[in-house]
């Protein structure tokens, strides 16, 4: 028993600090670029923040990789001794040091969140950060996006939008190409659409006259009165009865949210065929009562 114990003690004594260092060097920490690791904030330096991720050396988070947004005090986002997740952006160098990024991990999480919000057809608030000839640039959860001029409600005074928060919906989300496009117009249309229902009387203005019908612009959306829904009587020419900008009231007879289509009718407001042609002012003046009667008759 004694001889075995003595041999064991000699074996333990023979394992020196040099041996330990060599064993440490042979250990494979398998830190790879793109890997998410947890680490504890160790110390601050002018070059960045040092983090203990259990490697041979402390890992470093460069100043520009600390946060997706501007910060004035590093300790507010990376307090000492706090454990957080980081993304490895450069594998260990000759000294065993790994380079980390908190900013890029935030952006990665943001893209995942954005994709989910797009799938759920959510409307989101974005902050306008700049202007170019095609529209405005925006910031959303640390990711830079874009709203084309054609998808803005106010298309004329773009510089005045800088610094404002706009309610938008997603037009295009592509994490691979880092392309993020929003639409304020579509978000506004969707919000307005949600307030509409079949049988509702809406008021707007004639925005366009076509051979097949009248486009009516209401608050936040545009509807169509097909020529066959203007009157129970045949109409030869819409321009002879209506003009651009003319106020008009009509009943919603169909809604197609997927296509963004609102179908309207003034035909249902008539007391007799051709009343819209003969006495338009009277039909419009009593449209509320007529619409209530028509709704009960048509939709129960």
In the CATH scheme, what is the code of domain 121-188? 2.40.50.140
Greater confidence (189 vs 144) lies with: 144
Q: Residue range 187-202: average pLDDT?
A: 88
Instruction: Write out the two tokens for 82.
Output: 């706090």
User: How many percent of the chain have pLDDT more than 70?
Assistant: 90
Same fold yes or no, 36-101 and 195-299: yes
The correct CATH number of 36-101 out of 3.40.50.1100, 2.40.50.140, 3.40.50.1370, 1.10.4080.10 is 2.40.50.140
Q: Residue range 142-165: average pLDDT?
A: 93
Q: How confident is residue 160, by pLDDT bands cut at 50, 70 and 90?
A: very high
- Note the pLDDT tens digit of each residue in 246-261: 999 999 999 987 777 8
pTM of structure: 0.62
Instruction: Write out the two tokens for 27.
Output: 């250990």
Extents of the domains making up the chain? 36-101, 121-188, 195-299
- Note the pLDDT tens digit of each residue in 46-88: 889 999 999 889 999 999 999 877 788 999 999 999 999 999 9
User: How many percent of the chain have pLDDT more than 90?
Assistant: 66
Determine the pLDDT at residue 10.
47
- Note the pLDDT tens digit of each residue in 212-242: 999 999 877 889 999 999 999 999 999 999 9
The correct CATH number of 195-299 out of 3.30.1490.100, 2.40.50.140, 3.40.50.2000, 3.40.50.720 is 2.40.50.140
Q: How confident is residue 169, by pLDDT bands cut at 50, 70 and 90?
A: very high
Determine the pLDDT at residue 1.
47
Pairing of strands 221-226, 261-265: parallel
């Amino acid at each position: 028993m004694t001889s075995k114990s003595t041999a064991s003690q000699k074996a333990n004594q023979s394992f020196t600090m040099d041996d330990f260092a060599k064993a440490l060097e042979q250990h494979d920490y398998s830190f790879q670029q793109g890997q998410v690791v947890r680490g504890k904030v160790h110390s601050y330096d002018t070059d960045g923040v040092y983090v203990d991720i259990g490697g041979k050396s402390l890992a470093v988070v460069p100043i520009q990789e600390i946060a997706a947004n501007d910060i004035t005090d590093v300790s507010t986002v990376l307090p000492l001794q706090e454990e957080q997740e980081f993304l490895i952006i450069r594998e260990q160098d000759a000294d065993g040091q790994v380079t980390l990024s908190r900013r890029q991990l935030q952006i990665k999480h943001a893209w995942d969140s954005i994709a989910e919000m797009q799938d759920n057809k959510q409307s989101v608030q974005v902050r306008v950060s700049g202007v170019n000839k095609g529209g405005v640039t925006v910031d959303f959860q640390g990711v830079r996006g874009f709203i084309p001029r054609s998808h803005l409600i106010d298309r004329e005074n773009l510089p005045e939008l800088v610094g404002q928060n706009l309610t938008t919906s997603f037009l295009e989300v592509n994490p691979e190409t880092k392309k993020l496009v929003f639409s304020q117009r579509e978000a506004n249309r969707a919000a307005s659409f949600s307030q509409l229902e079949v049988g509702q009387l809406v008021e707007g203005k004639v925005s366009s006259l076509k051979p097949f019908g009248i486009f009516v612009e209401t608050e936040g959306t545009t509807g169509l009165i097909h020529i066959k829904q203007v009157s129970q009587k045949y109409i030869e020419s819409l321009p002879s009865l209506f003009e651009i900008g003319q106020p008009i009231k009509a009943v919603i007879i169909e809604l197609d949210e997927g296509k963004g289509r609102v179908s309207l009718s003034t035909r249902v407001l008539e007391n007799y065929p051709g009343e819209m042609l003969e006495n338009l002012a009277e039909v419009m003046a009593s449209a509320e009562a007529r619409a209530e009667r028509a709704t009960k008759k048509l939709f129960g």
